Amino acid sequence: MNPAPAQLAAPATGAADPSAPTDGGLRIQAVSYGYRGRRGALPAVDRVSFDVPRGGMGVLVGPSGCGKSTLLRLVAGLLEPDTGSIDVGGVTPARLRAQRRAGFAFQDPGLLSWRTVRRNIELPFDLAGLPKDRAWTDHLLEITGLTEWADRRPRELSGGMRQRVALARALATRPEVLLLDEPFGALDEITRSDLNLELLRILSDTGTTCLLVTHSVDEAVLLADVVVVLGRRPCAVRAVLDVPQPRSQRRAARDTPEFSARCRAVREELEAGR
């Protein structure tokens, strides 16, 4: 039996952003899941519970292979929990997926080489047989800094720019929740740091609730409103750390004792959960 998760008390450096709504977000309650095989079920997720407020950023950290990506697929509606429930703004993941209100971005941007930046962003409309929302696409191009590159092909872009296209594409259908599986993991440290801050700005602009998987403790503490620390497989919640600092202050916070204290608290839980 896994112990109840700890609520890590991080030093407060500012109040939560008052503009961020606090209801209608992501709620995961006592979710368990196991993969079926010839030798029986292989437990992957064990009674996981946590909340992410509407418009908030939840970040999952844990050992490699612990089940973080499985948990992300459960929230996406690609897998059904064996027990427990997942609610996104009052809607089940399966219904959310059917309504195309979940967006995805991964480490590999997966852009189509023969399409322009604009046409890659519009791909979800084509796949769903929906009319294109040109005004929204223009807005996504603007907030991701891609307007002047709208007619270029992926081969003409840097790695960071290709990830921006993938992020804009994930937001094309105005999803209720955005699910990110190490989207910046393959980038160099400087580009990754810049895109972390860009992601916060974009999410603040769109008001999208987000759940991100990362192996970087610093990235988790920088991005998250809620850090969820998971133990080894089957993953269970070891600790939940609320980060009350407004997003506008995150860039300056990286060199503060408070930031270091939060990172240390997360690392200690990761070490204890190995």
Annotate 144-177 with b (16+ C-beta within 10 A) or e (fewer).
Answer: bebeebeeebbeebeebbbbbbbbbbbbbbebbb
Task: For residue 18, give every residue at least 6 positions away whose Cβ sits within 8 Å of its Cβ, in sequence order, or none.
Answer: none
pLDDT reported for residue 162: 93
Q: What is the pLDDT of residue 184?
A: 78
CA distance 27 to 155: 39
**Residue 15 pLDDT:** 33
Query: Is residue 260 classed as helix, strand or coil in its secondary structure?
Result: helix
Cα distance between residue 249 and residue 102, in whole Å: 28
φ and ψ at residue 29, rounded to 5 degrees: -125, 115
* Residue 85 · residue 252 · CB < 8 Å: no
CB 92: neighbour CB atoms within 10 A? 14
What the chain holds in terms of domains, given with CATH numbers, is: 25-97+213-272 (3.40.50.300)
Alpha carbons 154 and 239: distance in angstroms, whole number: 40
Place of tokens 């039996």: 1
For the chain, the straight-line distance linking the first and the last C-alpha, in angstroms and rounded, comes to 15
Walk along the chain (274 residues) and give the pLDDT tens digit of each residue. Answer: 444 555 554 433 333 333 333 356 899 999 999 988 777 778 899 999 999 999 999 999 998 888 899 999 999 999 999 999 999 988 899 888 888 888 988 888 889 999 999 999 999 999 888 899 999 999 999 988 999 999 999 999 998 899 999 999 999 988 889 999 887 776 778 778 888 888 888 888 888 999 999 989 999 999 999 999 999 888 899 999 998 888 888 888 888 899 999 999 999 999 886 7
What's the predicted TM-score (pTM) here? 0.85
Would you state the pLDDT for residue 148?
95
Whether the Cβ atoms of residue 45 and residue 71 lie closer than 8 Å to each other: yes
